[in-house]
Chain A
Amino acid sequence: MHPAYSVIFFTVASGAGFGLLGIAAIALLLGAEPSLLSGVLALALIGGGTLSSTFHLGRPERAWRAFSQGRSSWLSREGILAAATVPVCLWFFAALYWQWVLAMFAAVVALLLAVATVVATAMIYATIKPVRQWRDPWVVPGYLAGAFASGAAVWAALDAGVAGRVAALVALAAWAAVKLFYWRSIDRPQTGPDIGSATGLGKLGTVRPLDPPHTEENYLQREMGFRIARKHAARLRRLALLLGAIVPGLLLLVSFLVTPFAIIAALSALIGLLVERWLFFAEARHTVMLYYGTNVV
């Protein structure tokens, strides 16, 4: 699948925003006091990400219509949940300086909404049947772990406390583990549709493409036909783990001695997540390409 930069930036940025909000909520429930900056940054990441997501629309001025189909569409649900999170986030951070009990209540709602929104984002992909790599059971855990790992890394960059950094270390390790499970899962030999079942001609013999319908690439090939060499994918997986988990992990350990290193750790984690999200698209194979001569997806 074509990795659209606006969508990659959107899912990583808003994921980190929701993760940060969730971590702030958990922190409050455990008795810490989230800084105002963490609230501002969470809203900025969520808002910036959502804004970026409209850049890949053919008709961005109609984006508001996407709130209407929550009964059937995960994309619509994601929009509704994300929009609902914003006032709750404002209420949460306003209540911190106003009424503690209300803030605790807001924190619970904010945490639930943050988790629900990230799950909705992941479900957009996890329900796309023609893409085996997205139907994988590790997709939802991967998005959740990514959101909370990056959110925790940003939290650790803002907060000098020890608990935050330990939480970030744990979350980053969990994310790396989930991604390893995901990659192992999609690397297994598949039993999905092939060119024989796509054309229904498989029972007559081997099916080989002879002539494509047109001389130039069409929308389907540009959108669904993006392929990445196995060798490059393996290298990028290592890079994602290195930048997303190993480097930030080490920097967080250093930050116990030199605090500002936590900021570099957060940036590294976000870049690692961008690489991973790019791969999430680049490694995904759509069944439509079977008609254009790909043997297996």
Chain B
Amino acid sequence: MSNTFFKIDWLSILLFTFLIAFGWISIYSTTLTGVESKSYLDLSTFYGKQLLWIVLSFVIILFVLTIESKFYERFSSVIYVISLILLLGLMFFGKTINGQTAWYSFGGFSLQPAEFAKAAVALAVAKYLSGLNVNIKKFKHQLNVFIIIGIPIILILLQPDTGSALVYFSFFIAFYREGLPGFYIWGALAAIIIFVAVLLLGSTITSIFLGLIFFAIIYFKSKQKSSLLKPILIGLLCISFTFSVNFLYNSVLQPHQKARFEVLINPNVNNKSSGYNLYQSEVAIGSGGFAGKGFLNGTQKQGRFVPEQHTDYIFTTIGEEFGFIGSALVILLFVAFLSRILYLAERQKRTFSRVYGYGVFGILFIHFFVNIGMVTGLIPTIGIPLPFFSYGGSGLWGFTILVFILLKLDADRIKLGS
């Protein structure tokens, strides 16, 4: 433990502390209504409870750092299985809130196992990929690792919690680092771009545009006398995907999911119904201006115009009260923290630690990207929290455990050897 104290990455801890502190201030401002008691630890308020979770997370941090770092690697499968059992158990013992059966309820408070499963899956993925004979370039091993993340995805989709399920796709960043063929990533990116293009421009224009691009590529390839088969096949695939977008959009997506795309694409969407959340969110952020309205002074916030403002939409409080300066500061804090995590991951000597580090990065990044993208109206509404900011004990503890296992592994990286 004393070894850990000296070797641990204090810069990460500093950034972590900043994020947690800024997060709590935002929750305090968001949920303070001016009528309740002034005590910060008043457990009938969100900010009081959140402060309690923060204090308890110090206990969890000490616990995580005290355990031998070897433990995480050795028991990763057990931890993984336990988390799957917890997810499965929701079907029988879970508590349903807002249509999602995602919580275990113990008297006064609830736990959300999906938040802890993130760390467990990251450990399991790291464990598998660090296996001596495992090579992610091989299809068989790809399939195995997809199953490792696939099971929790399915269990979470059953709750149903699409947003949390989506988080697990962030492991592709780790897979890519470990050698997953590039077409997974590029193919996914291309599919997303085509999907958006079709929604915005329609399938005819998009396919004509794609056709021109691939025609040019094939023309240059034929001059270089290289194989034409691959570009032709990819081109046909892309164009045929263009025509399946409408089917996907209309038949596969649920009506409420379609509406979430609709509000981004169509500016005339009714601001009172499906467009309400996004509209209120943009108004709150936009009204902050450059310097913000000042701490506790947000008017949109006081009117409770933004739904779920203390959880998924916590960033709107920052936008309204601290303006562009505050919002940019939060983004830069995340950039610094995420970069530091990447740096730590890359300096690990053991594959297990590195893969785990990339897993942590991926999970934090996708939360950051999706959450801020959503509240600023850049991507469709997907309900996942902003790490360290959004209200919720399970989320806070889940992220804390996730980060501090990495810090523990990093502190012991010399001792663990390669």
Chains A and B bind each other: no
Q: Which residues of A contact B (CB under 8 A)?
A: none
